[in-house]
């Protein structure tokens, strides 16, 4: 693929793991997009004041030994968690078919993939101040985050 936006550093496989290390994954290509997400769901899932995720094509990502525990809390949203430590692993959204969203903090190469925009900036915590010039999407950034 030549139209990716986050390939500046490397074409080497991307790897990562959960907190306890039982679940690992690798992607055969760099993420097609990385973004912050300020939505309340991502805050709950991660426990962090803001989440940041990397978007991969589903067929490019392999989890080992498996994707752990799968949870469907909201319609159209599937999230998975390490079966051992419970770390959030991935999210899939019916409105963004073919893509899997993995917390950028799980990546071994997280430093190489800075977020490119802020999704759901309208839900940002008032006390959180991130001073960058990235684009802010007040609502969903789905127009920017889907398959490309």
| Nearer of residues 22 and 130 to Zn ion, judged by Cβ | 22
* Shortest Å distance, C-beta 123 to Zn ion: 8
141, 117 Cβ separation under 8 angstroms: yes
| Nearer of residues 7 and 123 to Zn ion, judged by Cβ | 123
- Interface with Zn ion (CB under 5 A), residue from 34, 35, 50, 82: 82
Nearest Cα residue to 144 out of 13, 32, 23: 32
- Interface with Zn ion (CB under 5 A), residue from 12, 48, 58, 85: 85
Q: Considering CB under 5 A, how many residues would be counted as binding Zn ion?
A: 9
Q: Quote the radius of gyration of the chain (alpha carbons, Å).
A: 14
Q: Does 18 bind Zn ion (CB under 5 A)?
A: yes
Residue 59: helix, strand or coil by DSSP? helix
Q: Torsions phi, psi of 31, nearest 5? A: -60, 145
| Nearer of residues 20 and 58 to Zn ion, judged by Cβ | 20
117, 144 Cβ separation under 8 angstroms: yes
Per-residue x/- track, 37-66, Zn ion (CB under 5 A): x-x--x------------------------
48, 38 Cβ separation under 8 angstroms: no
Contact residues toward Zn ion (CB under 5 A) are 18, 20, 22, 37, 39, 42, 82, 84-85
């Amino acid at each position: 693929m030549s139209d990716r936006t986050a390939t500046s550093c490397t074409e080497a496989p991307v790897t990562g793991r959960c907190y306890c290390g039982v679940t690992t994954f690798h992607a055969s290509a760099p993420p097609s997009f990385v973004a912050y997400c300020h939505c309340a769901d991502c805050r709950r899932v991660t426990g962090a004041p803001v989440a940041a995720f990397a978007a991969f094509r589903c067929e490019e990502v392999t989890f080992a030994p498996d994707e752990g525990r799968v949870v469907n809390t909201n319609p159209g949203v599937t999230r998975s968690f390490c079966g051992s430590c419970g770390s959030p692993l991935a999210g899939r959204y019916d409105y963004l078919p073919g893509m899997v969203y993995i917390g950028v903090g799980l990546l071994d190469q997280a430093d190489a993939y800075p977020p490119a925009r802020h999704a759901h900036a309208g839900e940002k915590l008032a006390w959180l101040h991130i001073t960058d010039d990235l684009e802010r999407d007040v609502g969903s950034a789905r127009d920017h985050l889907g398959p490309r």
